[in-house]
Structure 1
């Protein structure tokens, strides 16, 4: 039985999952039937996904790639014919379909292909890998009876146009597509695929529950990291050489006012006019050695010289705001949501691992990724 947005999923919910991809254009005409999306069960997951960057091709084209821990792409003989990127089971992904997908991503997310032969080659291989995963996900969605109707795609597209082109509307949208070398049909295909991913994710991760004991145990384990960290208000002077930094430090130790020294010697135009005021910062906000020195000094104490990429630094601790612990009541709801998200992602990863382990995928030699079983580097960095 197919499921529809009318049973509870809002357009906002589907739009938050607009970053990931769900499918490819390699479906036959008989596959272009209407599809409906099941209702959302994991609002917290949608929020988490919505916050992730869209610039990377792999992250934009496949929500599955963003979440998967491992992959199982199989590059096997016999050879894939020219004009075909890959074969997934009996389904082919043509070079034309891959080009259409990339054009749609450019239109939706401002994706830019890199320059240079080697970089472009890597880009195309990553695009092929993402397209393969999209096909596998759509096949799994079809098996589960997940469908997305044209009317539902209309609703999603209308919302996108309202948000991105509030002044020019449909006309501005069409004009922008022309400039980017895409058309509305390509964008609609991409949005449909994203909605299928959202639906499949909901279907796979339904029934995830977190107990009160789990929430309490997580609070006990993460109490330190949940607390508001210590922050320090810092003054800072940047010079070009260590000799200059030693001179600055000597003047400060002899009692010269920090603001006066900063205005005279600092090359940091952003803080020089403010007497070297860097502002409040936690340890994680500061670069390695500089942060160690700043948080190793006492209130009112001087620190440095410390070398960073911007020069040699001498600083002073103006104020210290101690770390603030949080109570269980303050974070209970957030922790529960976090654990539900983590459990849902774990269930989703297991599903993908099983799905990909059973996949029969063959790449054309020109599109075979360097490591077909690994995720692109930018996706690895954003995997929770």
Structure 2
């Protein structure tokens, strides 16, 4: 997994991504270089571009190559940036302040042990490659922590009312969602070409040691140091094409080559952990927490929708979102 991709998993606050919506205002009087204006503040196209660079450094976000997808991406970027500004004001109004020390401590914990022997230096180099400063990253960490605090404040009442009876009814609506899926312990090697992958697969089938080959050849820094150990994972934690092959391969067997966005993969199934049906009495607390989370998100979406529809946001036509008054899909690719 690349450093940028790891940071995407480490930092992102899912409740924000799940709730991003935006209000529509008439498009009049904006400067030529404006993407949008919020509460009298003009945000230029270059401001949005740089904000996307910060998101790329933190969350591994990449602008699509396809022109149509790129246009939608820019609109989503403007929308997400506007929502970020609205949430900043809401957190300030609520008196939620995150100290520099807290943000720095959080960032240090995130990168510790993930980016080599000198993680801070590696992280600084990574930021430089994106044209982003550490202060900008710290500002984003502070923003996410403030929004998390705002989320807790605005959803406290919704989660306090959940009873065991509520949880049982919620469980019985769809018990399968609480079942434990099959998991598999996997090893993996990433190389740059299909030819390399085929060669590795042949060597593994002749009896070569997987860990040794991974340490010698894999392009994945994180798993290479561990001899290719990917961990024990569910199908939904993997690239779809990779999961399809990995979860139909016999234990102890190598498989591949499989192409993903990170390269050509050769894997090995080390062990299989069977799935099991859920029993309410055994997972009662987990069901309660799941219901609390769902009700919290519903409350958050309702509150945030009202905040944004009341906000003074005006878009340039090129940045006007396709769905300005509707909550987007949970995974928008931005935040």
Bucket of the pairwise TM-score, normalised by the shorter protein? 0.5 to 0.7
Is 1:193 the equivalent of 2:186? Answer: no
State the Cα distance separating 1:125 from its structure 2 match: 1.4
Shift in CA distance, 170/226, structure 1 to aligned 2, threshold 3 Å = closer
Which of 147, 161, 173 matches 1:221? 173
Instruction: Decide whether aligned partners of structure 1 residues 175 and 334 sit closer, same or farther in structure 2, where only a CA change above 3 A counts.
Output: same
Aligned partners of 1:201 and 1:17: how far apart in 2?
A: 18
Q: Give the Cα–Cα distance (whole angstroms) in 1 for the partners of residues 118 and 29 of structure 2.
A: 48
Q: Is the contact between residue 83 and residue 94 of structure 1 (CA under 8 Å) also seen in structure 2? A: yes
Measured after TM superposition, the shift of residue 117 of structure 1 is 3.7
CA contact (8 A) 2:19 2:330 kept: no
Aligned residues: 243
- Residue 17 of structure 1 deviates from its aligned partner by 7.6
Gaps of 5+ in 1: 1-14, 21-48, 50-62, 231-268, 274-281, 288-321
Work out whether residues 65 and 133 of structure 1, in 8 Å CA contact, stay in contact via their aligned partners in 2.
no
- Shift of residue 325 of structure 1? 4.9
**1:328–1:379 distance in 2 versus 1, CA, 3 Å:** closer
Question: Of 278, 282, 291, which residue of structure 2 is paired with 1:330?
Answer: 282
**Structure 2 counterpart of 1:115, from 29, 50, 65:** 65
Question: For residues 18 and 148 of structure 1, what CA distance do their matches in structure 2 show?
Answer: 16
Structure with max Cα Rg: 1
- 1:359-374 matches, within 5 Å, as 359-374=311-326
**Does structure 2 retain, via aligned residues, the 8 Å contact 1:86–1:128?**
yes
Aligned residue number for residue 346 of structure 1: 298
TM-score, normalisation: structure 1: 0.55
The alpha carbon displacement at 1:163 in A equals: 4.2
How far does the alpha carbon of each residue in 1:318-364 deviate from its partner, in whole angstroms, 9 at most, with x for none? xxxx9965433212111111111111111111111211221221012
Residue by residue, what CA displacement relative to the aligned partner does 1:92-132 show, whole Å, maximum 9, x if unpaired? 32333322211111211222112244333222111101111
Assess if the C-alpha contact under 8 Å between 1:84 and 1:95 holds in 2: yes
- Give a deviation string over 1:191-248, Cα, whole Å, max 9, x none: 1221121111111112322112212322333346545689xxxxxxxxxxxxxxxxxx
Q: 1:165 aligns to what SS in structure 2?
A: coil
Q: Which has the higher contact order (CA 8 A, sep 6+)?
A: 2
Corresponding position of 2:98: 148
Q: Say if 1:199 and 1:229 are closer, same or farther in 2 by CA, change over 3 A.
A: closer
